Structure formats: structure tokens, C-alpha cells
Amino acid sequence: MCQKYSSDVQRGVNQLANALNGYIAPIVEAILKEKGDVYKFAGDAVLGLWPFENNSIDHQREQAKRVISCALYMKKSFCNYMTPIGTILNIKSAIALGSYSIIFLRGTTPACSKILDEYEIKMQSSIRNVNFPSQTTKLANSTNYISKTGLNQETIENCKTNLINYYVCYGSAVVSVRNAEHQCKSQDVIVDMATWLLLDSDS
């Protein structure tokens, strides 16, 4: 699909984005409707999470049924989806049960990191030359550094405040769903053994 859209240099990127958004948006809505959370997008893949509110088997089983119901709905609704350029899109779903953790990290862009590193080094170097640095001295040092480098105070402050959020999800559930996804073929709905046993215990 990317190759077909790339042939139109002027509009290809926007057309590709619109086609994917038109396909993925209702998938996201289906996940949210079934009380799931969308964790991230990875290319044309969507990772959804359905956290357990408690550890009771009945609750876990109901959550598993909700996830499978969502997957079956998406298979029915979003397979054989025709894009404006005639490419057919299909969906496959991998479902896994297990624990997971999410770690949130914060950082800056490489350009901002360089600016802030140089700024802090210059500031610390200037302050060490003063026995009792006051706010006035710090402000003067800051002004001198900015005037020498050609930067402005707004750039420095933006680099301090415009931090980037990173997050990582890991755990047995993530590993299991990735393994299940590798077993999937187009239009498949596949569940891992833990989910299967949980549902089977209800019969």
C-alpha cells in the first residue's frame, strides 16, 4: 500500500495517513467501547490492554470474554476493508492473559540535551568563582551565557519544560501476546493457553 501511495509525490503521504486513520480509528473505538485501553500503535498494529479490577476468577473470565467479543466484532467489521486505491486490508487478533508493568520515563530531544548540558556547565563554572552566589549573580551569569551563545531565554526555558514522555510496557502478558501474534494469520483470532484454560474452566 505504501508503494502505491508513494507514486503520488504531492498527495501520497496525506492519502496514506487518511487511509490508515480511517481504518484504525473505528478499531480504537471498538476497544474503548469494550472498556479496554489503547496502549500504543506500532506501525499498523494496535496494542490494547484490559486491566483486571480484582483478582477473582469470575472477573478475569468476564474480561477475557469481553476481549474475545471485541476481537470477533473487529474481525466481522474490519476484514476485507477496501481502501480508496483498491488495496484490501485485513485484521488479525492475538489475545493473551498475564501480568504487565508500565514504566514512564521523561527526557529531552538530543538538541535540547546539548543546550541544557552546555548551559549547566557554564552556569556551574561561573558560580564556583563567586563565594556566595546570589540570585542576581546567577541571573547575570545566565544573561552572559545567553548573549555569548546567541540563544535566548525562551529557548532555554522551552528545553527545560518541553520534556518528552517515554513509556515501556513489559511482562508475561506482553511476551505471550507477541508470541500469539506470530502464530496469527490474516483474519485469525488466536488466544494463548492461559486465556483458553480460563475460559475452559467455565464449561
The full DSSP string for 71-124 is HHHHHHHHTTEEPTTS-EE---EEE-----EEEEEEE--HHHHHHHHHHHHHHH
* Gyration radius from the chain CA atoms: 25
Q: Are the CB atoms for 92 and 78 separated by under 8 Å?
A: no
Crossing angle of helices 135-149 and 110-128, rounded to 10° = 130
47's grid cell? 496494542
**Distance between CA 109 and CA 118 in Å, rounded?**
14
Neighbouring CB atoms inside 10 A of 6's CB total 12
- Residue indicated by cell numbers 474481525: 75
Domains of the chain: 2-99+172-200 (3.30.70.1230), 109-162 (no CATH)
pLDDT of residue 69: 93
Full pLDDT tens readout for the chain, 203 residues: 555 555 554 555 677 777 778 888 899 999 999 999 988 877 678 889 998 888 899 999 999 999 999 999 999 998 888 877 777 888 999 998 888 888 776 666 666 666 666 655 444 444 344 444 444 444 444 555 555 555 667 776 776 666 666 677 888 888 888 888 888 888 899 988 889 998 876 65
- Report the C-alpha gap between 121 and 116 in whole angstroms: 8
Element (H, E) at 46: strand 45-49
